[in-house]
Structure 1
Amino acid sequence: MKMPLLLLAALAMVLAGCSAPRDLVWERVVPAGDCRCADGSEFTFWERRADPTKVVFFLNGGGVCWDAKSCAFTGDHGESEFYDWSVQGSEPENRNGMFDVTRSDNPFADHSFLYVSPCTGDAHLGNASQKYSPELTVEHRGYVNGTAALSYIAEHYPNATQVVVVGKTAGSIAAPLYGGLVADRLPKAKVTVFGAQSGAWPNNPDFNAGILDARWGAYDTMPDWAVKGLTAQDWGVPRFWTQAGLHNPGLVLARFDFAFDPHAASEVTQWMDGNPPNLLAVITGNEAAIEAAGVRLHSYTAPGDDHGLFEFDKFYEIEVNGVRFVDWLDALITNEPPDDVRCDRCSSS
């Protein structure tokens, strides 16, 4: 019996739809609880619902602050020159780089996404209200906001088998902590942490005590992972990787850096050695300290002083020593983690 032409046409459309890439469509999510932005306004994050077993938890950058000048609510659309203090205009509109889900070489084309933009100036780490002047009170509630999004993943993606925590610039500082928390909540999932462009953030006691603890209240939010006798008061930014890896050896931990990116750690150069500091040396020293503590940190270091990665075509164009970055990243999340890639001639000159 011949199938009617209209039925054949309908079937062809269905089959074509099954094979075609799904558009990147975002839905706004307003979490419950005591979430808020720096100015006290509403916090939201964004979701792209696709394969429920594969999820990207994207911690966006957005700057940091810790005093009356850097934390002031200046600028338009909730953005100052130092940080984003509200989620006005924060909808992820970019469709390039890792967000171009029409590309067959995008490792995340079929993944669900949770896109968490910071609006608290504390790199997704804080839970403190700070009065920096009579006219300026800042809500550093990044940890409250971030863990609300984390709870959303646990509730709405309970059967996830692969979760990739991606941190961009300041968002990558807390990425290993959130990776460990994801693994605690979804113990059957393979959890990969990929942080980009914070490899030069130092482990400096003055910064740890004065900013992480005193300004942001981050030590009060740290998970109870007192491994090897180290409590939260012993943690600095590089040790976030150490603590997460020692807490859960099953985590796949990885980072990307441009060797001499002047913007990736510009806020914290005053806490680095050297004037100006040698950024590549700091990155190399941090990685060596993490691995000396017994944690495997996979790394891809590209040459030059470029900045930006995830939202650009360079996401597909970067190649070092014959290894294309996007292929390295795909192997990291799907197979046995690849060997480290490091530029031989790292200077941009």
Structure 2
Amino acid sequence: VLYFQGGGACFSADMCAEGSDSYFQVATGAQVTGTDTRDPSGIFDLNDPDNPFRDWSFVYVPYCTGDLHLGDNVNEYSDEVTVSHKGFVNASAAYDTLLDEFGDAREVFVTGSSAGGVPAPMFGALVADDLPDARVSVLADASGAYPSSPAINAAIGALWGTFENVPDWPENEGLTAEDWGVTDLFVQAGAHAPDVRFARYDNAYDEVQSSFSELAGFAGDDLREVILANEAYIEDGGVDVAGFLAPGTTHTILGSPGLYDLEVDGTSFLAWLTAYAEGRDVPDVRCTGDCATPSG
């Protein structure tokens, strides 16, 4: 498992300043390995017999750069606020560790939560390049609400230096910074590596994604409909993506004990995730009715 940690994003002096609502203090390794007082949960609970990843190795990519693991730029937002948006540099170092330590892997599951879900498709396709004999599956957790907006792609991408890190794939020839948005990573990765499997998990009215969408300047439409429109955008681009859309306003599932209990319209998320991790086809699952109210 190649897992990218989440933790928000920032693209202004107010957002990036310590103490702001979007400021995030990175978790330590102890919080993942279970050496502190909190027990790991979700896919990190390696003692749970129902965990489909209990016997897998993990490369865990911590996050503190505010750039969705995609940047390589130092930006001075104000006299008091300068941010090293070096997420891509850090992610690349972790990716090199994956290749060095697990270069003979037969299965690689590339995933991440929140900000960490965004780079997962791109790194999934990179894994397919470097480990051509491995079965590669991608799951983006709680990052499906951000449409591709040329102006926003270019503006925020310039602050973070993301476009300089676009993979040198034939499918990316002619792309501009306006074309490199969150949903575009799925489209380009899928075009480049058609054997990679892609999936997404979201809550229909995720409060965190709703807040960041507003801060970034995306239209304040019904979030459930935006998530579904983004899925359609990816599939219209020729990439099949399985979706699990749960009701409620919560944010992320993979590190939550709720992973083991969630059901939507009779479908268990754990069963869905297990089947997907094992390489089986999974259906699209979408909440219906009152999607603002959590299941159960």
Separation (CA, whole Å) in 2 of partners of 1:243 and 1:346: 34
The separation in 1 between residues aligned to 2:47 and 2:190, in whole angstroms, is 34
* Counterpart in the other structure of 1:302: 246
State the match for 1:220 in structure 2: 164
Question: Given residue 105 of structure 1, which amino acid in structure 2 is its aligned partner?
Answer: D
Amino acid at match of 1:303: P
Q: Please name the residue that 1:127 is paired with.
A: 72
Matches within 5 A, 1:167-186: 167-186=112-131
Instruction: Render the CA deviation track for 1:280-314: whole Å, top value 9, x for unaligned.
Output: 11001110011011100011111122223122221
Judging changes above 3 Å, is the alpha-carbon distance between structure 1 residues 160 and 232 closer, same or farther for their aligned structure 2 residues? Answer: farther
Confirm whether residue 336 of structure 1 aligns to residue 280 of structure 2: yes
Q: Who is 1:154 aligned against?
A: 99
Match of 1:204 in 2: 149
CA distance in 2, matches of 1:306, 1:125: 25
Q: What SS does the corresponding residue of 1:103 show, helix, strand or coil?
A: coil
Asked if 1:324 is matched to 2:268, the reply is yes
How far does residue 66 in structure 1 lie from its aligned partner after superposition? 1.1
Residue 115 of structure 1 deviates from its aligned partner by 1.2
Residue aligning to 1:84 = 24
If the length of structure 1 is used for normalisation, what is the TM-score?
A: 0.77
Relative to its length, the structure with more helix (as a share) is 2
Instruction: Name the CA distance, whole Å, in 1 between partners of 2:255 and 2:49.
Output: 16
Equivalences for residues 1-349 of structure 1 within 5 A: 56-72=1-17, 74-75=18-19, 81-84=21-24, 91-92=31-32, 93=34, 94-212=39-157, 214-227=158-171, 230-233=174-177, 234-270=179-215, 271-274=217-220, 277-349=221-293
Alpha-carbon distance change, 346 to 114 in structure 1, aligned in 2, over 3 angstroms: farther
Pairwise CA distance, 1:192: 0.6
For 1:318 and 1:86, the matched residues in 2 are separated by 27
TM-score by length of 2: 0.91
Contact 2:145 2:213 in 1 (8 A): no
Amino acid of the residue matched to residue 99 of structure 2? A
- Structure 2: unaligned runs, 5 residues or longer: none
Q: By how many angstroms is 1:232 displaced?
A: 4.6
Residue 225 of structure 1: how far off its partner (Å) = 2.7
Question: For 1:325 and 1:171, how far apart are their aligned partners in 2?
Answer: 20
Higher RCO structure (Cα 8 Å, ≥6 apart): 2
Contiguous gaps of at least 5 residues in structure 1: 1-55
Partners of 2:176 and 2:271 in 1: CA distance: 36
How many Å separate the matches in 2 of 1:335 and 1:143?
28
How has the CA–CA distance of structure 1 residues 207 and 88 changed in structure 2, closer, same or farther, with 3 Å as cutoff? same
Would the alpha carbon gap of residues 111 and 317 (structure 1) be closer, same or farther in structure 2, given more than 3 Å must change? Answer: same
- The aligned amino acid for 2:91 is G
Shift of the alpha carbon at 1:116?
1.1
Distance 1:269 1:230, change over 3 A: farther
**In 2 relative to 1, CA 223–229 (structure 1 residues): closer, same or farther, beyond 3 Å?**
closer
Identity %: 41
Report the residue type matching 1:60 in the other structure.
Q
SS at structure 2 position matched to 1:70: helix
Counterpart for residue 19 of structure 1: none
How much does 1:83 deviate? 3.2
Q: CA RMSD in A?
A: 1.9
Q: List per-residue Cα deviations over 1:82-117 (Å, max 9, x = no partner).
A: 133666677424411111111221110001011112
CA distance in 1, matches of 2:5, 2:69: 9
Q: How many residues align?
A: 286
SS in 2 for 1:291: helix
Larger Rg: 1
CA distance in 2, matches of 1:88, 1:299: 31
Q: Which amino acid aligns with 1:208?
A: N
Which amino acid in structure 2 is aligned with residue 331 of structure 1? A
Q: What amino acid is aligned across from residue 273 of structure 1 in structure 2?
A: A
